[in-house]
Amino acid sequence: MRTQRNGGVAHTISRSWLTLLLGGVAILCAPLLAHHSFAVYYIEADTIEVEGDVVEFQYKNPHAWLYVVGQEPFGKRQAYGAEWASRTQLDRDGIKKDTLRAGDSVRIWASPNRDPSDNRIRLKRIERRADGFRWGQNRRDSR
């Protein structure tokens, strides 16, 4: 412990108390630093459409991922990794880990990546015509 004199009043400063306070602030701020804005990686104002088959659905946090192989406008097959919402949000919207399976034919609308050579996109909307399943477009439903 260290004692300081300021204008005749003794102030006791405890290093362990200060360390505890700073540690608490760091722990509380960590989740804020860990999350990123989608706008950093994706062009949110633009939307592309991809129609294809699900290869894999990763139902996890911090974001779920949907991998789809679709047809490019010029006929070439392209694999896309679509970043989706958190598992918690999807669960609230009725999306479960088995909602989408490999082989499902889907149509998705997504924000393209800022890097044209990167095939990761941000999923905004999805539909599966086989059973009428839909999610997105300012209204989340999983009929």
Spatial contact of 55 and 102, defined as CB atoms under 8 Å apart = yes
Give tens-digit pLDDT for 28-60. Answer: 544 444 445 677 889 999 999 999 999 999 999
> How far apart are the C-alpha atoms of 83 and 103, rounded to whole Å?
19
Same domain, 42 and 27: no
| CB < 8 Å & 24+ apart, contacts of 64-67 | 64/90, 64/95, 66/100, 66/106, 66/108, 66/123, 66/126
- What domain range includes position 48? 38-136
Same domain, 57 and 76: yes
Spatial contact of 121 and 111, defined as CB atoms under 8 Å apart = yes
Spatial contact of 54 and 66, defined as CB atoms under 8 Å apart = yes
Q: E strands of 28-97, at which residues?
A: 48-58, 65-71, 77-83
Same domain, 54 and 74: yes
Same domain, 19 and 46: no
Same domain, 47 and 27: no
Same domain, 59 and 6: no
Same domain, 49 and 112: yes
Q: Which residues contact 27 (CB under 8 A, 6 or more apart)?
A: none
**pLDDT attached to residue 140:** 46
Same domain, 13 and 45: no
Within a domain: 54: yes
Tell me the CATH number at 117.
2.40.50.140
Within a domain: 18: yes
Question: Which residue's structure tokens are 């034919």?
Answer: 105
Number of domains composing the chain: 2
Within a domain: 143: no
Same domain, 74 and 14: no
Kindly indicate the confidence band of residue 11, based on its pLDDT and cuts at 50, 70 and 90. very low
39 or 134, higher pLDDT: 134
Same domain, 11 and 61: no
Kindly indicate the confidence band of residue 103, based on its pLDDT and cuts at 50, 70 and 90. very high
Phi first, then psi: what are they for 11, rounded to 5°? Answer: -120, 125
Query: Per-residue pLDDT for 16 more than 70?
Result: no
Spatial contact of 68 and 54, defined as CB atoms under 8 Å apart = yes
**pLDDT attached to residue 143:** 42
Same domain, 27 and 44: no
